[in-house]
Structure 1
Amino acid sequence: MEIKQLEYFVATADHGSLNRAAERLYTSQPNVSKVIAALEKEIGVQLFKRNNRGIELTEHGKMLYGHASSILKSSDIILSMVQKQTHRSFSVSGYQSSLIARFMAEIYESRKNELNLEYREGVVEEITDHVAEHISEIGIVYIAKDQICCFRHILGHKKLEFHPLFQRGICVYIGSKHPLYNRDSIDFSELTDLKFMQGKEDFFAIEHHIEKISGGTAHLENLNTPFYTNSDYMIHNLLKNTDICCMGIDLVSKEYENQGIKALKVNNCQHFLTLGYVNRKKDELSEESKMLIEKLVRYNKSL
């Protein structure tokens, strides 16, 4: 199957006519008919049927249309990216993080007009997929100690490596409207009294380890989670304007305080999360990757 075949198929479906599709594609009607016939033969189904108004999609054609349109859009994006690429690129995937956002901004400032930068947010599976698929050079993740062995096994299938940097515990982010805003810390036993927002389902999410690290004091099923979102913008607004809080790694950017958001340390919480980076096996790190990693390590030492 070729991109050209999908282009002819979508154009014919959009215009409902082989002649109008040919005009749109700057080719002849017999050529469009030939390409469509070749596509139907290749996939083994009829895509169009004739009626009094011209031609229309069959049920198989309707099923293919959405996927074909999506593929063509992605193809256009790829071509646009390649054609506009005038500088080196540096792409990172990771969690929603104001700290990494700040470091990426600093890297941009130091490489202005020399580098195109990208930062993609996601859960562990998405982050590692981005690296494996060459969308990102590295992925920044944190994994619970007892899951590292499983994590490395998963990475092996994707031909990736995990490089630990340091270990941290967890904290609870709250805004100025939260009744505990004047506190500096919280006990595990108090977590069930709070309202949490829940993000994307993630096998490696912090919440899955609450019972173990709290010594049985707190249980995942007892946490009150009235709000679901995977939007960083929504998370910030909920923290600033409601009594809903969220859980995260105890590696907090100072910019949060300027936004009326603070992080409560969780008392007696061990450093059970290992923060590190993922990259493709045998790939050398760029200077920008090394710079980002160094900034993370230095910041951790300053806390």
Structure 2
Amino acid sequence: MELKQLQYFVVSADMGSFQNAAKMLYTTQPHVSKTVKALEDELHLKLLVRESRGVRVTAEGKKVYDYASVILKNSDMIGRINEENSAKKLAVAVMPGIRLAQVCADFYTGQEGKMQFSMLQGCMEDILGFMHKHVAEIGFVYVSEHQLSALNQTLEHKRLEFVPMKETRMALIVGKNHPLFGADSVDEAELKNLRYIQYAEDYFSLIHHLGHLNDSVRRFSKMDDIVTTNSDAMLYHMVADGALCHLGCELLIRHFHEKVLHTIPLTAEEDGIIYFGYVKRVRDTISRISAELIEYVNQNI
């Protein structure tokens, strides 16, 4: 029995005729028919019923089809092992941030040779889950200084560690059609009357820890109809249209589409610092490609 015989049988069953199978396999109809007949003779089974309009799979053929499909799939996976070993691999998890996603994409496009690149996005709890389960090698996150101690306790339990890279602050992001576009500052009275779109929240969400805004923003009457999303694209378009604003990390939006989005820093001391950095597993050595990404992000964020 040869893999070619199984392939020709499976494709013939899928396409419903030897003629259509021959087109898919770039060969001739008689060759397909002869190859499938050789398989039937070897198995002593009737796999296909030849009819005027094509072929029909028999009961025995359906059983062989299921097994043959698995064999062909596994054969293909085995054939890819060498290719996978020769390609660079990078799995990274990131918290939402329009600029961060763009920087990671730029890093990938700048790589030479083959590279298997996976980027997962989620809230802090998602990122820690990806890291703990070895789904990602590193995870880029941001956290308020008010929550850093709680984060470190969580990381210790999961045998992870946070490596700070940069410090930043909270900011209000508005679109070009918004009345505050171009403003240098915004006062609390104005913040109370704005409508917001925020990333889906968890315990470490920045909006939970805004210092003096934490007491004020939560009382804003219009916060009841706040839009939440885990999509960078949705947040970008709704802010860019000017209908909604976003309270987020200044570092991850600053200088991104400045003609469309405008960043207004919230500089009150009680707001505190936001730390941006990456999470890694304590016992693991970071791969060369991950180290290159970390350096690239550090230079371009």
TM-score past 0.5 threshold:
yes
In structure 2, the residue matched to 1:166 is 166
**1:297 equivalent in structure 2:** 298
Paired residue type of 2:127: I
After superposition, the Cα gap between the structure-2 partners of 1:22 and 1:245, relative to the gap in structure 1 and judged at 3 Å, is farther
Matched, 1:285 2:286: yes
Question: Is the Cα contact below 8 Å between 2:144 and 2:274 reproduced in 1?
Answer: yes
Give per-residue Cα distances to partners, 1:59-104, cap 9 Å, x unaligned. xxxxxxxxxxxxxxxx99xx69x75735121121112223223322
Alpha-carbon contact 1:162-1:276 (below 8 Å) kept: yes
Instruction: Quote the residue 1:128 is aligned against.
Output: 128
Which runs of structure 2 are paired with 1:1-303 in the superposition (5 Å)?
24-26=62-64, 85=84, 86-210=86-210, 212-214=211-213, 216=215, 218-222=216-220, 224=223, 225-251=225-251, 252-258=253-259, 260-269=260-269, 270-299=271-300
Deviation at 1:290, TM superposition (A): 2.2
Question: SS state of the match for residue 153, structure 2?
Answer: helix
Cα distance change, pair 283–171 in 1 and its aligned pair in 2 (3 A): same
Distance 1:182 1:228 in 2: 25
Q: Distance in 2 between matches of 1:187 and 1:296?
A: 32
Q: Which runs of 4+ in 1 moved over 6 A?
A: none
> 3-state DSSP class of the match of 1:276?
strand
Asked whether the 8 Å contact 2:198–2:235 carries over to 1, the reply is no
3-state SS of the aligned residue for 1:183? coil
Aligned-residue Cα RMSD (Å) equals 3.2
Contact map agreement 2:103 2:300 (CA 8 A) in 1? no
| Contact 2:146–2:209, Cα closer than 8 Å, also in 1 | no
Contact 1:168 1:271 in 2 (8 A): no
**One-letter amino acid of the counterpart of residue 192, structure 1:** K
For residue 233 of structure 1, give the secondary structure of its aligned residue in structure 2. Answer: helix
Distance 1:107 1:297 in 2: 12
Asked whether the equivalents of residues 185 and 264 of structure 1 are also in contact (C-alpha less than 8 Å), the reply is yes
CA contact (8 A) 1:171 1:266 kept: yes
Q: Distance in 2 between matches of 1:215 and 1:103?
A: 30
Query: How many percent of aligned residue pairs carry the same amino acid?
Result: 25
In structure 1, the residue matched to 2:39 is none
Q: Please name the residue that 2:24 is paired with.
A: none
- Unpaired stretches in structure 2, ≥5 consecutive residues: 1-57, 67-72
- TM-score, normalising length: structure 2: 0.67
Q: How far, CA to CA, are the matches of 2:207 and 2:248 in structure 1?
A: 9
Name the CA distance, whole Å, in 1 between partners of 2:146 and 2:132: 23
Q: Quick one: distance in 2 between partners of 1:263 and 1:187?
A: 14
Distance in 2 (alpha carbons) for counterparts of 1:257 and 1:286: 34
* TM-score normalised by structure 1 residue count: 0.67
2:142 aligned partner, one-letter code: Y
Tell me if the contact between 1:178 and 1:243 (Cα under 8 Å) persists in the aligned partners.
yes
Does the 8 A contact of 1:95 with 1:123 survive in 2? yes
Stretch of structure 1 that moved more, 179-188 or 116-125: 179-188
Unaligned runs of 5+ in 1: 1-19, 29-74
Q: Does the 8 Å contact 2:173/2:239 carry over to 1? A: yes
**Distance in 2, Cα, partners of 1:256 & 1:88:** 31
How far has the Cα of 1:280 moved from its partner?
Answer: 0.9
Higher gyration radius (CA) = 2
| Per-residue Cα deviation, 1:103-155 (whole angstroms, up to 9, x for no partner) | 22332244232322221110001111111112111001111112222112212
* Offset of residue 189 of structure 1: 4.0
1:287 counterpart letter in structure 2: R
Instruction: Determine helix, strand or coil for the equivalent of 2:258.
Output: helix
Amino acid at match of 1:219: V
Alpha-carbon offset, residue 23 of structure 1: 5.1
In 2, Cα distance between the equivalents of 1:290 and 1:189? 44
How many pairs were matched up?
Answer: 233
Seen in structure 2, the aligned counterparts of structure 1 residues 279 and 24 have a Cα distance that, compared at 3 Å, is: farther
Q: 1:101 to 1:215 in 2, by over 3 A?
A: closer
- How far apart, CA to CA, are the structure 1 residues paired with 2:233 and 2:286? 31
